[in-house]
Amino acid sequence: MGSKKIVYRLGSGCELEDIVVGNIYEVRVQGFAKFGSFVYLNNHIKGLIHVSNVKTDHKEGEILYVNVRNIRDNGNIDLEEISIEGDIEIKTVSCKKSGTRLSDLKNKVGRNVTVEAEIAQIKQTSGPTIFTLVDETGTESAAAFIEAGKRSYPEIELGDIVSLSGEVMMRNGQLQIEVSHMMALFGEEKEDVKKRIEKALDERARPEDIPFMIESEVLENLKPEMQKVAYLIRKAIFTNQPIILRHHADADGIVAAVSVEKAIISLIREEGGDMDTESHLFKRAPSKAPFYEIEDITRDLDFALKDNVKFGQKLPMILMMDNGSTEEDEPSYRMAKVYGLSIVVVDHHHPDESTDAYLDAHVNPYHVGGDFGVTAGMLGAELARMIYPAVEEHIRHFPAVAAVGDRSEAPERERYLALVADSYTEDDCKDIALALDYEQFWLRFNDGREIVKDILNIKDNYTIHKNLVSLLVKEANLAIKEQMDTSLPHVKDSVLENGSHLFTIDVEIFAHRFTFPPPGKTSGEIHDLLCRKNEGKPVVTLGIGPDFVVIRSRGVLMNIPQMVRELREEIKGGGVNGGGHLVVGSIKFVEGMRNIVVERLIKKIGEFPVE
C-alpha cells in the first residue's frame, strides 16, 4: 500500500483564511466564463480554474480536485485542476459556524443566509424542487431550481444533513429560502451538526413532567413508558415524520385516539403548520378488526410508499391504540419492519410477550401489574396531556367516558368520574359512549372526525353536542330493542353439568343482519338481559354464527384461549382459531364443522368450575 494523497473538503463554516495555499481541495463546478471555470470550495467560497489550468471537460455540478495556487488580495482564488492516480484520503476541514437558525428566518427576509439542517422531505414540483428543512428550532422550506420538473441536487437524499445558502423570500406569505448553493455534510462536520440538532430536538421533544389527572399506582408505574411514547410522537412532529394512528373502533378506542389526535393537531398548529400539513402529517384510522389486519398494513404501506415517492415524505410512524399488543398483530408488524417503520403501542389488552420484539415503545397496564380496567381511553388522555398539556381542558371528561364505555371496574373509573362530576354525570358518560359506538357503526371505518368531536363535546358547541348524543342514544336504543324483540324468542336454554345456565342464539338467522347492533353486541345485550333475569347464578351466553361463536359469561371460571387451543388440537379439519380474554371472547372455525365445534365447546364450558 503506497501513501495516500490527502484531499481536503472545506466545511461550510470555513472562510477564506481557512484555505491553505498548496493544499488539494475537492470542489464543485458552478459555472463557466470565457477565461475558465468557476467552482465552489464549500457552500459559499468560489474560486477560478483558469482555462490554462483546466484539464478535462467540465459539467455543471461536477466534482473536481484542485490545487490552490494563490489567494489574491482581493480574495480571488486561483486554482489548478489536478488528476490523482492512486488512493485518496479525504479530510473534512471543520470551521466554526455562524449559520442562521430556522426560527430566525422570519427576520431575514430579503437577505442571504447559510443554514444547517436535516432534509425532512424532498418534493419535486413541476417547477423547482422543494426541500423541507428541520433544525433544532423548527421547520422551513427551501426551493432549488435547475430545469422545469428536474430534480435539483439529486445527490441530496432524505435524511441528509446539509449546509445551504440562499436568499430568504416570502412566497404567498410563506418563508422560503431560494437556494444558491447546497451540499451534504460528511464525516466529522456532519456528526457535529447532527449531534447539535439531535440534542436540541431531544430536549424539545422531551415531554413536561406533569402529574396525572387522578391518583393511580398503575399510571405512576407506566409513566416512564408513557413519556417515551410522548417523546417519540413529539419528535416525529418536530422532524416532519407522518404518524398513522390505528385504533379499535369502539368508544374506548375512539376516546384514546381522539385525545392524542387533538394533542398532535394542536402541536402541529403551534409549530406553524396549516391544514395541509395536518393532513399529510397525521391520519387517524379506525380498524375493522380488533387487531392490525394484513389488509390494513398493506393499504397503509401502499399509501405511505407512494407518498414517499410522490411527495418525498418520510415513512410514517405507526401508533396503535386500544389495539396492537397481541400475537395477531405480528404478521402486520413484520411487514412494517421490512420498511423499518417505527411502531408504538398504547393498549390495555392482555399483551403477548413475543410482540414486544417489534415495538419501539409499549404502554400496557399488564406490564406493571394493572389490567384492562385501566382503559386505553384513560391512557390516551393522559398521554395527550404529555404531548400537549393545554389539551387537558378539552379532554378532561374523556377517561370517564372510556371507563364506562369499556365497563372498567378498576379504581381509576370512579376517580375519573369524580373529576368531571360537576359537568358530566355517569349517565352522560354512558350516553356519550353508546353514541360513539352507534355512530362508528354507521361511519364504517371512516374517522368521522367532526361528528365524533361533536359527540365528545370538544367543538365548543354544547347544543349540537347535547342534541346529537341524545338523538344517537335514542336511535341506538330503538335498534337494540328491535334486535332483542327479534332474537330473544329464539334463545335456547339449558343447564350444564357444572350448574351454569347456558343460553344459545343463532345470530345469523335469528337476528337482523348488517345493521346495529352487530352480532357481537347483540350477543352481549342478550347476555346482560339474561344475567339480570338470573341474578346470582352462573350464566354463559353463546351467539352462534355460521363460522363463529361469540362467548359471554358470568360466574364461570373458564379459559377461552385454552379451550381454543384444545379444540384446534382435537378437531382435525376444524380450522379453529380465536381467543380474547379468559371469560369473554370469540371462536372461529370452518362452517362445515360448526356442529362439532359448538358441541365440544359446550361440553368444555360445562367442565369449568363455577364461582
Q: Can residue 449 be called a binding residue for its own copies (CB under 8 A)?
A: yes
One-letter amino acid for residue 421 of the chain: A
Q: Compute the least distance from the CB of residue 300 to its own copies, in Å.
A: 11
- Tell me which residues in 525-554 interact with its own copies (CB under 8 A): 547
Is-contact 538 500, C-beta < 8 A? yes
* Torsion of Cα atoms, 608 then 609 then 610 then 611, to 10°: -130
Q: Give the total residue count for the chain.
A: 611
Give the three-state DSSP class for 396. coil
Q: Compute the least distance from the CB of residue 274 to its own copies, in Å.
A: 4
Q: Compute the least distance from the CB of residue 451 to its own copies, in Å.
A: 6
- Cα dihedral sign for 151, 154, 157, 160? negative
Nearer to its own copies, 55 or 111 (CB): 111
Sort residue 574 into left (φ over 0), alpha (ψ -120 to 50) or beta: alpha
Q: Can residue 442 be called a binding residue for its own copies (CB under 8 A)?
A: yes
One-letter amino acid for residue 261 of the chain: E
Q: Can residue 308 be called a binding residue for its own copies (CB under 8 A)?
A: yes
Q: Can residue 305 be called a binding residue for its own copies (CB under 8 A)?
A: yes
Cell of 101: 437558525
Q: Compute the least distance from the CB of residue 109 to its own copies, in Å.
A: 11
Phi, psi of 324 (to 5 degrees): 105, -5
Q: Can residue 482 be called a binding residue for its own copies (CB under 8 A)?
A: yes
Nearer to its own copies, 300 or 382 (CB): 300
Pick one of 7, 48, 464, 582: the residue that binds its own copies (CB under 8 A): 464
Q: Can residue 288 be called a binding residue for its own copies (CB under 8 A)?
A: no
DSSP 8-state assignment for residue 350: P
CA 175 – CA 137 distance, rounded (Å): 15
DSSP 8-state assignment for residue 409: -
Nearer to its own copies, 16 or 471 (CB): 471
Q: Can residue 494 be called a binding residue for its own copies (CB under 8 A)?
A: no
Is-contact 183 42, C-beta < 8 A? yes
Stretch that binds its own copies, among 180-188, 378-386, 435-443, 554-562 (CB under 8 A): 435-443
CA distances from 179 to 40, 164, 391 (A): 14, 7, 38
Nearer to its own copies, 386 or 530 (CB): 530
SS (H, E, C) 234-283: HHHHHCCCCEEEEEECCHHHHHHHHHHHHHHHHHHHHCCCCHHHHHHHEE
One-letter amino acid for residue 14 of the chain: C
Long-range contacts, 176-179 (Cβ 8 Å, 24+): 176/140, 176/141, 176/142, 176/143, 177/105, 177/113, 177/115, 177/133, 177/140, 177/141, 177/142, 177/143, 178/142, 178/143, 179/131, 179/142, 179/143, 179/144, 179/152, 179/153
Stretch that binds its own copies, among 31-39, 76-84, 256-264, 292-300 (CB under 8 A): 292-300
Nearer to its own copies, 279 or 494 (CB): 279
Q: Compute the least distance from the CB of residue 489 to its own copies, in Å.
A: 3
Cell of 133: 428543512
Nearer to its own copies, 26 or 454 (CB): 454
Nearer to its own copies, 18 or 547 (CB): 547
Pick one of 506, 520, 581, 604: the residue that binds its own copies (CB under 8 A): 506
Pick one of 57, 73, 85, 147: the residue that binds its own copies (CB under 8 A): 147
- Tell me which residues in 238-277 interact with its own copies (CB under 8 A): 272-276
Q: What character string, x for contact with its own copies (CB under 8 A) and - otherwise, covers 25-54?
A: ------------------------------
Q: Can residue 592 be called a binding residue for its own copies (CB under 8 A)?
A: yes
Q: Can residue 508 be called a binding residue for its own copies (CB under 8 A)?
A: yes
Q: How many whole angstroms from its chain centre is CA 385?
A: 17
Q: Compute the least distance from the CB of residue 443 to its own copies, in Å.
A: 6
Pick one of 285, 590, 596, 598: the residue that binds its own copies (CB under 8 A): 590
| Binding-site size, its own copies (CB under 8 A) | 73
Q: Is the peptide bond before 517 cis (omega within 30 degrees of 0)?
A: yes
Q: Can residue 489 be called a binding residue for its own copies (CB under 8 A)?
A: yes
Is-contact 123 130, C-beta < 8 A? yes
* DSSP bridge partners of 540: 502, 553
Pick one of 7, 175, 529, 582: the residue that binds its own copies (CB under 8 A): 175
Q: Can residue 104 be called a binding residue for its own copies (CB under 8 A)?
A: no
Q: What character string, x for contact with its own copies (CB under 8 A) and - otherwise, covers 335-374?
A: x--xx-----------------------------------
- Tell me which residues in 563-582 interact with its own copies (CB under 8 A): 572-575
Stretch that binds its own copies, among 12-20, 157-165, 299-307, 409-417 (CB under 8 A): 299-307
Pick one of 184, 488, 529, 583: the residue that binds its own copies (CB under 8 A): 488
Stretch that binds its own copies, among 4-12, 219-227, 255-263, 445-453 (CB under 8 A): 445-453
